[in-house]
A and B are shown apart, each in its own frame.
Chain A
Amino acid sequence: MTEVIQQIVNGVSLGATYALLALGLAMVLNILGLVNFAHGELVTVSAYGMYGAHELGLPFLAMVLVGILAAIIVALIMDQVAFRPLRGATFATLLFASFAVGIVIQNVLRAGVSPRQEALPFPEVFNQVFTIGGVTIGWLQVITLAVTVGALLMLTLFLKRSTYGLGMLASSEDFQAARLVGVRANRVIALAFAISGFLAALATISIVARRGTIDPGMGFQPVIAALIGTVIGGLGSLTGAVAGGFVLGGLEIFFTATLPDELQKYTVAFTMALVIVILYFRPRGLLTASEEER
C-alpha cells in the first residue's frame, strides 16, 4: 500500500511538470495556432540561464530568477523576430518556422557555451526525502507540486481577474472575435509567449533537478511531453492541457511501476500506444465537450 502511495506521489509530481509544459504550449497554440516546437528550447535557455548564474556564484533563488527571466526574454524575442512576420501562415509553415527557431537556439548554445553536457548541481534538499506514516516522499516531488499549484493559482487569478487576463482568455477561446471587440492582437500574443516562457522556466527547475545536467538538446523530451499532454487534454483547451500533462505523467509512472522487468524498456511504447488509443476514441481530447454539444 505504501508503495502505491509513493508511486501516486511520483506520478502526480511528474505530471505536474508535464502540466506546466503543456499549459505553456497550449497558451501559444490557442491564440496563434502555432505548435511551438521551440517550446523545448525555452526549457533549455532557462537551464542555461541558471547555469550561468551558478557559474557566477549566485545563490539558488537568484539562479531560478535568472532562469525565469532568460526564458521570458527569449520567448518574447522568438515572437517578435521569428513569428511576427508569419502571422496568418498555415499550420505546417508555422510548425517548421518554430522548429527552425529551436535549431538556431540549440546551436547558438552549442557554439557559444559548450556542445557537451555540463553538470548543474542543485541544493541538497532536492535529493532529500522525508517519511510520513511509512511513506517515503522526496522533497523534489513536494517542491514540484507546490510550484505547479502556485503557478496555476496565480495564472487562474490573472486570467479571470485582470483586464489583460480576460483579454487573453477570450482570445484563446476565439481570437478573431476577441480582436473584434478590441483586444490588441500583438500585445496578447506577446503576453502568451511571456507566460509560456515563465511556465517553461518553472518546469525547468524540476527537470534539471531530476537530471542534474544540462545540454543543448535537453529541450526535446520536454517539448514532446508538452505536445502529447496538450493533445490528450484536447487541442484548444487550457484546463485540458493541464489535465493532459497529469494524465501523461501518471501513465508513465504507472507503466514504470507495473510493467515486468523484461518489458521495462518498452515503457515509452506502452505510454504512446495508450496515447494513440485516447486519440482514437476521443480525438478532441479527454476533457472537451463531445461532438453534439459543440
Chain B
Amino acid sequence: MRSAVKSSATAALMVAVPLFLLAIIAVTTFGNADQRVVLSFFVTVSLALSIQAFSGTTGIMSFGHVAFMGVGAYVAAALMVPAAVLSTFAPGIPSFVADQELPLVLVLPVAFVIAGLIAGLVGLVMARMEGEAMAMATVSLLLIFVTLFSGLDSITGGAQGVYAIPEVTTIWIGLGVAVLFVFGSQLFARSRIGIQLRASRSSALAAESLGVNLRRQRWIAWTLAGAMIGLAGAVWAGYSLAFSPNAFGFDLTFSLLSAIVVGGLYSVTGTVVGAATLTVLFEVMRRVEDSTGVVGLTQITVAVVILLILYRYPTGLLGLKELPEAITRRRRAR
C-alpha cells in the first residue's frame, strides 16, 4: 500500500511540475484569453480523468459520465447563483438551497457527494450488466439525463439553461483539482479494487473465477468516477458562468473520450498527455482557421491527427504505461 502511494505520488509529481510551470507562465505572461485556455485545459484534464477512472480500470467505455458532470454543474449553480437571479430561471429550487451563496471550496464537496449519490443509484443497475451491454446502456443514460436537464425546467432553467454563476474558478483551483485527480486516479488504479478490475479487463470470467466480485468493484469504480466528474463539473461551472443542457451531450463526451483514447485508455498520465496534445492542436488550428477564414479547418485537422495517432499508436500515445515508466523505457531503448 505504501509503495502504491509512493508511486502514485511520483506520477502525480511528474504531471504536477510541468502543469505548475504552465500555470505560472500563464499567470505572469499570458493575456486573459490565453489564461482561459490554460484553465480550460486543466478542467478538461479533470473531466477526462474522471471518466478514465472508470473506463481505464474496467476497460468499459462510458459515454454516460458527462451526465454526472451535469449534476455537479447544476448543483454548483443552485448553490452559487444569487437567490434573486436564481428565482427568475429556476423558481422550483427550495429556498433553503437557493438562498445559499456558498464559496467554491464548500460547493466542491457537495457536488462530489450529490453526483456520487446519483451515480451510485444509477450504478446499481448499470454495474450489474455485461461489459458490452453496459457500454451501450451508457449511451441511453446520457440521452436520459440530457432530456431530464431540459425537462425539469423549474430547477434547471430548462433548455434556456443557467446563467449568472460567479466567476470563482481560478487557474490555481483548476490546477489543484487536476493534480489531485491524477494522484487519486493512480492510487485507485493501484488499489486492491483497481488491480482486480484491471485484471478483469482481459477476461471478466477468469477474474470472477479467482474470486473477484466484479459487479461490486465495477460499481465502486463507476460511482467514484461519477463523484469525481461531479466535482469537476462544479469547477467547470465556475468558469463557464452560463450553460444549457446541450453542454452535457455527446460533443463533450467525445472530445473527453478522444483525449483519453489518444493518450492511452489504460494510462492515467496518458489522459493528461492526450488532453494536452488535443488542446495545443486545437488552439493552433483555431488561430490558423481565424486568419485564413477556412470554416471547419480546426475540426478537420484535429480529427485527422487523431486518426494518424491511432494508426501509429493503436493503444494511444502512452499505451499501457504511466509517465515515469514511459519515459525511462524510451531512454533504455535509445
A residues at B contact (CB < 8 Å): 82, 85-86, 89-93, 95-97, 99-101, 103-104, 106-108, 110-111, 115, 220, 224, 227-228, 231, 235, 265-266, 268-269, 272-273, 275-276, 279-280, 283-284
Contact = CB atoms under 8 A, between A and B. Distances in A.
Interface residues of B, number: 42
A134 B143 CA distance: 37
A231 B133 contact: yes
B295 A111 contact: yes
B67 to A, nearest CB: 11
B296 A111 contact: yes
Nearest to A110: B296
B163 interface: no
Given A101-B303, A107-B296, A265 B140 contact: no
Given A95-B61, A96-B258, A272 B140 contact: yes
Nearest to A85: B311
A90 B314 contact: yes
B311 A279 contact: no
Contacts of B265: 92
Tell me if B's interface is mostly helix, strand, loop or mixed.
Answer: helix
Interface of A is mostly: helix
B139 A227 contact: yes
B294 interface: yes
B227 interface: no
Contact of A100 (B126, B141, B306): B306
A279 B261 CA distance: 25
B151 interface: yes
A104 B144 contact: no
Given A91-B61, A97-B306, A111-B300, 7 more contacts: A92-B61, A92-B261, A93-B315, A100-B258, A107-B300, A111-B294, A235-B132
Interface in B244-280: 250, 254, 257-258, 261-262, 265
A275 B140 contact: yes
B110 to A, nearest CB: 25
B254 A283 contact: no
Contacts, number: 121
Interface in B276-295: 294-295
A85 B304 CA distance: 13
Contacts of B140: 228, 272-273, 275-276, 279
A86 B133 contact: no
B295 A115 contact: yes
13 contacts: A86-B314, A97-B307, A100-B258, A107-B297, A107-B299, A111-B294, A111-B297, A227-B139, A272-B141, A276-B144, A280-B125, A283-B133, A284-B133
A273 B299 contact: no
Contacts of B250: 220
Contacts of A97: 306-307, 310
B128 interface: yes
A275 B61 contact: no
Contacts of B300: 103-104, 107-108, 111
Contacts of A224: 139, 143
Q: Which 3 interchain pairs have the tightest Cβ spacing?
A: A107-B296, A283-B133, A272-B140
Contact of A110 (B128, B132, B295): B295
Nearest to A262: B151
A269 B148 contact: yes
A100 B306 CA distance: 7
Interface in B286-334: 294-297, 299-300, 302-304, 306-307, 310-311, 314-315
Contacts of A99: 254, 258
